[in-house]
């Protein structure tokens, strides 16, 4: 049986003028020297999640340099709910503005629609570093995962961000208190909706973890204040919003109780991630992602991406990762520069040499 994501075609994308890959196996390993485009292939697949790929680059940098005035495109062929589909993502410059457009079976869609079809999980060395050192990056990763649980969260987070920007603009210009009060009311309503979705995710996810003993790597979860004392948190958030309106000199958004930032922390043997070794921290992050993927694996195409899979991993752990993905029917894509020899104990794996 072919995997759900059957193939990809890239046009004027990164270092590829034209690149086509067909996927006949559930697991694909891109192998090759540095700078041949292995990570670029993984990154293009990560566009199946809303946003600009796992490197979060500006759109113009995705265009093949020698063809920078042309559009770039990524076309995916996939099977969903028993039907053949194709999705094209076009990156283009119109009226001096770079944009992304999505076409599902030739019909234009919003990127949020991707959340109804795909759920993407990835781990790169850069992700590992930022996840350990940057609390905002960690929060953003968890928020993205919860959007797969309830796609409405994506819209709430987007609207919340827009309202916060609008409030900053007003504080810097007119300081219209009536408009600020109106914005604050909207922020409270959206903030409550954000927290409720996150709390429901965490409750169901913790129940899932307690009933599944087979974790890739053991970890503990510590919920944030917003999850534990929601009403008190929202009251403090409302007061913070009101206090912001009294600070006309610096025009900063000062709230310390932010629904967008409210998530949870993970640890291993009561040690937070910054106290672990490089290999342990990578295993911890990977375990969180793998368990979330298993928890959320419901009528969607689940795709896992790991760049340079052999960094800090030996063959035993690589085999363990792939077997875990196989057992839970994830389609996986890996990359490596290592010149290794597989022992033949990993089934349904295609090794593609990238030149």
Alpha helices in the chain (DSSP H): 38-46, 125-133, 135-149, 152-172, 177-211, 225-228, 230-244, 278-295, 315-327
CA dihedral angle for residue 90, residue 91, residue 93, residue 98, rounded to 10 degrees: 130
Q: How far apart are CA 41 and CA 333, in angstroms?
A: 9
Residues 135-299, CATH architecture: Up-down Bundle (1.20)
Name the pLDDT band for 340 (thresholds 50, 70, 90): low
312 is written with which tokens? 């800090």
pLDDT in tens, 122-164: 999 888 999 999 999 999 999 999 999 999 999 999 999 999 9
Give 1's DSSP letter: -
Do 1-117+301-355 and 135-299 show the same overall fold? Answer: no
**Tokens 């234009």 sit at which residue?**
108
Give 26's DSSP letter: S
53 is written with which tokens? 């790929």
* 294 CB-side CA count, 13 A: 22
Distances (CA, A) of 306 to 94, 262, 310, 333, 350: 34, 27, 9, 7, 15
Does the predicted model carry a pTM greater than 0.85? yes
Q: Tell me, what's the pLDDT at 314?
A: 72
pLDDT in tens, 167-189: 888 888 876 788 899 999 999 99
pLDDT at 307 over 60: yes
CB-based contacts of 7: which residues, under 8 Å, 6+ apart? 20, 21, 22, 23, 76, 77
pLDDT at 191 over 70: yes
What is the separation of C-alpha 93 from the centre of its chain, rounded to a whole number of angstroms? 25
CB-based contacts of 1: which residues, under 8 Å, 6+ apart? none
Q: What is the mean pLDDT of residues 321-328?
A: 88
Q: Tell me, what's the pLDDT at 319?
A: 80
Q: Tell me, what's the pLDDT at 348?
A: 86
pLDDT in tens, 192-233: 999 999 999 999 999 999 998 777 889 999 999 999 999 999
Residues 1-117+301-355, CATH architecture: 3-Layer(aba) Sandwich (3.40)
Looking at the chain, the whole-number percentage of residues with pLDDT higher than 90 is: 69
Angle at 337 (CA atoms; ends 335, 342), nearest 5 degrees: 75
Q: What is the mean pLDDT of residues 257-282?
A: 92
Ranges of each domain in the chain = 1-117+301-355, 135-299
């Amino acid at each position: 049986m072919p995997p759900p994501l059957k193939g990809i075609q890239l046009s004027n994308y990164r270092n590829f003028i034209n690149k086509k890959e067909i996927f006949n196996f559930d697991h694909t390993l891109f192998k090759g020297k540095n700078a041949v485009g292995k990570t670029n292939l993984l990154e293009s697949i990560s566009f199946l999640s809303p946003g600009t790929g796992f490197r979060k680059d500006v759109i113009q940098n995705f265009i093949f340099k020698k063809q920078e005035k042309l559009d770039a495109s990524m076309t995916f062929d996939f099977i969903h709910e028993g039907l053949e589909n194709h999705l094209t993502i076009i990156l283009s410059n119109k009226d001096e503005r770079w944009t992304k457009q999505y076409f599902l079976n030739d019909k234009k869609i919003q990127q949020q629609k991707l959340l109804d079809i795909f759920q993407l999980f990835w781990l790169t060395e850069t992700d590992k570093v930022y996840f350990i050192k940057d609390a905002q990056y960690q929060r953003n990763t968890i928020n993205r995962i919860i959007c797969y649980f309830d796609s409405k969260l994506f819209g709430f987070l987007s609207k919340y961000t827009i309202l916060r920007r609008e409030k900053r603009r007003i504080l810097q210009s007119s300081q219209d208190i009536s408009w600020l009060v109106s914005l604050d009311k909207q922020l409270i309503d959206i903030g409550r909706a954000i927290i409720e979705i996150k709390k429901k995710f965490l409750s169901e996810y913790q129940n899932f973890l307690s009933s599944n003993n087979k974790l890739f790597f053991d970890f503990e979860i510590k919920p944030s204040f917003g999850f534990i004392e929601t009403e008190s948190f929202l009251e403090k958030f409302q007061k913070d919003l009101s206090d912001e309106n009294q600070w006309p000199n610096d025009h900063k958004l000062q709230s310390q109780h932010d629904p967008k930032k409210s998530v949870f922390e993970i640890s291993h043997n009561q040690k937070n991630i910054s106290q672990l070794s490089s290999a342990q921290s990578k295993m911890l992050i990977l375990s969180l992602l793998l368990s979330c993927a298993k928890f959320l694996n419901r009528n969607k195409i689940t795709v896992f991406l790991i760049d340079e899979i052999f960094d800090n991993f030996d063959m035993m752990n690589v085999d363990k990762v792939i077997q875990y993905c196989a057992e839970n029917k994830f389609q996986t894509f890996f990359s490596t520069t290592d010149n290794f020899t597989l022992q033949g104990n990993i089934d349904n794996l295609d090794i593609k040499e990238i030149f």
